[in-house]
Amino acid sequence: MAELNGKACPPGDYPVVVIGSGPGGLQTAYSLARAGVQAAVLSADDSPGGMFRRFPLFQRLITWTKIHAPAERGTRPYEWYDWNSLIGEDPALRALVPEYMDGTSYFPARHEMEQGLREFSDRSKISVRYGCRWESTRAKGDTFVVGTSDGEFSCRALVIAVGMTEPWKPANIPGIELAPHYVETKPVAEYAGKRVLVVGKRNSGFEVADALLPWARQIVLASPRPARISVLVRSTAAARARYLQPYEDHVLGGGNIVLDASIERIDRTPEGRFRTLLKGTTRPGDLALETDEIIAATGFGTPLGDIGQLGVKTFYQGRLPAQTPFWESASVPGVYFAGSITQGSIGLKKYGIPSNSAAVHGFRYNAVVLARHIAETRFGAARPRPAIPPAEVVPLLLAEATRAPELWNQQSYLAHILTFDDGRVLDEGILPLAHFVDANGPDGVAMAVETDAEGDIHPAVYIRRGPRVEEHTLASSPLLEFDTAEHVAQLTALLKGLIA
């Protein structure tokens, strides 16, 4: 694959082109290769790692890796506790991030994460063309032509894995351009003794406020929506516990402030300070705030280039492409997404709890499933569907509910599915739950793990008989043990008549 100048993946025709060399792109390319499909991976960066080469700003990730875990490192059950490593089949490719962690924190440092990703890329020998910038995209018959700084690539399936990495600010705030974005935050010492307004109350807003606590004179966090806290709304998409010190400071009257207010306009004063007008949302009232500094922690969008002109539809103010349950563009077949962009495929989102597709521990499994799906539906490489003896169905499903990392890390989103075909039971493996419950298919059962409105985590069983799919909830368990005699009896009764 190497050219004379040493670059992998020269321009040309490939079955699949993957754009991006972060964890989503690497996992997809690796899993495609395992399914026998060749992909050219194109990256504008000069080494693997994607956003972890730059973010989070303050060095440590918000996804943990448990070095001393209940499961043996390198096994499939261990993945449940290691939210950061990519998924390899060869033992040399498994659980790589903990290999590089120094053990002083539950959360890897950025360089530890980057090292784990680089090792995965090197050891798996994924061919990536670095320093190759994606510039244009067009459809030509049933292929896509990807124009890059190094020439043209054509493919039958295009996978876009560029991350939600483009600094984004709302367009409707006059003066917002005066506010540096989160990515432009200065070294913390430069905020010493200053009053700072942070616009935004999601993770990047709380992260930056947390880092400024020892420095800033006063921090005001403001955005229209009340802060959503992960432990209260049970979602990794909400503000994470480790960044909550500024919030506790506010609640206990420490002097830093968290406001629910819309930002009406931002101006510079003659002295070079910032004057911001705010309107309360949960508590009506106008406020004027003068601060020395302002930081727009207003989030990120996806750098989707020109694919809008192919007809790829977006939502969330253009920041995410609309997707099918298999992460294919809802409007342009053949264009797929991997990595954090897959949060745009929403799934069942029960009780408002989103999937973990925005983070590595969720989207790495989406990528594995996506690669097999592309290999099967576009290149005729059928997924294995081994037959299961009927007596093993109940133990298999309960073991999955108790230990499967895909089910625990992608609750109500990925499920282990068995289908029933003329007296035989076939193991379909891990698939999107939304696909099982909404698409027609043979009779079957899907096992998922879910959290209910009370915060109880329990197995959920979906059974398709003919055109209807019914949902059943198995008992929760304070020690998360879902393979007890009670569970066996419950599941056996539910499957009565379906297995011989």
Partner 1 sequence: MPDTDEIIDVLGGLSLFADLSRPELEGVAHTFEEEWFPAGQRILRQGFTGSGFYVIIDGEAAVSANGTQIAHLSRGDFFGEISLLLGESPVADVSSTGSLHCLVLAGPALQEFLLAHPSVMFRMLQALARRLRASNQWRS
Smallest gap from Cβ 34 to partner 1, in A, equals 30
Query: Which residue, among 278, 258, 301, 280, has the nearest Cα to 175 in the 3D structure?
Result: 278
Q: Which of 187, 193, 270, 284 binds partner 1 (CB under 8 A)?
A: 284
Smallest gap from Cβ 309 to partner 1, in A, equals 14
Distance in angstroms (rounded) separating the CA atoms of residues 281 and 477: 40
Query: Which residue, among 180, 208, 201, has the nearest Cα to 55 in the 3D structure?
Result: 208
Task: Name the one residue in this structure whose structure tokens are 């493919």.
Answer: 155
169: left (phi over 0), alpha (psi -120 to 50) or beta: beta
Q: In this chain, which stretch among 24-32, 150-158, 343-351, 355-363 interacts with partner 1, using CB under 8 A?
A: 343-351
Judged by CB under 8 A, does residue 352 bind partner 1?
Answer: yes
Q: Which of 174, 279, 311, 481 binds partner 1 (CB under 8 A)?
A: 279
Terminal alpha carbon distance of the chain: 51
Query: Which residue, among 27, 15, 88, has the nearest Cα to 370 in the 3D structure?
Result: 27
Q: Which is nearer to partner 1, 57 or 463 (CB)?
A: 463
Judged by CB under 8 A, does residue 334 bind partner 1?
Answer: no
- Residues 463-482 touching partner 1, rule: CB under 8 A, are 467, 470-471, 473
Q: Which of 415, 417, 437, 449 binds partner 1 (CB under 8 A)?
A: 437
Distance in angstroms (rounded) separating the CA atoms of residues 323 and 313: 9
Strand ranges (DSSP E) for 302-411?
314-315, 320-321, 335-337, 387-388
Q: Which of 59, 331, 476, 484 binds partner 1 (CB under 8 A)?
A: 331
Judged by CB under 8 A, does residue 316 bind partner 1?
Answer: yes
Judged on CB neighbours under 10 Å (0-12, 13-18, 19+), 75 is middle
Smallest gap from Cβ 159 to partner 1, in A, equals 19
Q: In this chain, which stretch among 100-108, 288-296, 317-325, 387-395 interacts with partner 1, using CB under 8 A?
A: 317-325
Q: Which of 172, 269, 309, 492 binds partner 1 (CB under 8 A)?
A: 172
Smallest gap from Cβ 267 to partner 1, in A, equals 19
Q: Which is nearer to partner 1, 15 or 224 (CB)?
A: 224
Distance in angstroms (rounded) separating the CA atoms of residues 83 and 89: 17
Q: Which is nearer to partner 1, 61 or 297 (CB)?
A: 297
Q: Which is nearer to partner 1, 12 or 315 (CB)?
A: 315
Distance in angstroms (rounded) separating the CA atoms of residues 100 and 117: 10
Omega of the bond leading into 56 within 30 degrees of 0 (cis): yes
Are 40 and 155 contacting, i.e. CB atoms less than 8 angstroms apart? yes
Judged by CB under 8 A, does residue 411 bind partner 1?
Answer: no
Q: In this chain, which stretch among 33-41, 135-143, 269-277, 347-355 interacts with partner 1, using CB under 8 A?
A: 347-355
Judged by CB under 8 A, does residue 215 bind partner 1?
Answer: no
Smallest gap from Cβ 316 to partner 1, in A, equals 6
Beta bridge partners of 279: 262, 286
Distance in angstroms (rounded) separating the CA atoms of residues 286 and 231: 31
Query: What residues contact 76, with CB distance under 8 A and at least 6 apart?
Result: 403, 404, 405
Smallest gap from Cβ 382 to partner 1, in A, equals 26
- Residues 369-398 touching partner 1, rule: CB under 8 A, are none
Smallest gap from Cβ 346 to partner 1, in A, equals 6
Cα separations in angstroms, 149 against 25, 60, 136, 161: 19, 33, 10, 18
Judged by CB under 8 A, does residue 342 bind partner 1?
Answer: no
Smallest gap from Cβ 317 to partner 1, in A, equals 6
Judged by CB under 8 A, does residue 224 bind partner 1?
Answer: yes
- Residues 13-72 touching partner 1, rule: CB under 8 A, are none
Smallest gap from Cβ 412 to partner 1, in A, equals 7
Cα separations in angstroms, 486 against 175, 314, 369, 395, 481: 61, 45, 32, 12, 11
Judged by CB under 8 A, does residue 167 bind partner 1?
Answer: no
Q: Which is nearer to partner 1, 171 or 479 (CB)?
A: 171
Q: Which of 322, 457, 463, 494 binds partner 1 (CB under 8 A)?
A: 322
Six-digit token pair at 402?
């108790």
Q: Which of 139, 330, 396, 399 binds partner 1 (CB under 8 A)?
A: 330
Distance in angstroms (rounded) separating the CA atoms of residues 57 and 420: 50
Q: Which of 438, 456, 481, 486 binds partner 1 (CB under 8 A)?
A: 438
Judged by CB under 8 A, does residue 297 bind partner 1?
Answer: no
Query: What residues contact 62, with CB distance under 8 A and at least 6 apart?
Result: 56, 107, 203, 207, 236, 240, 242, 243, 359
Residues lying near partner 1 in the complex (CB under 8 A) are found at: 170-172, 223-226, 233, 260, 262, 279-282, 284, 313-318, 322, 324, 330-331, 346, 348-353, 412, 437-438, 450, 452-453, 467, 470-471, 473
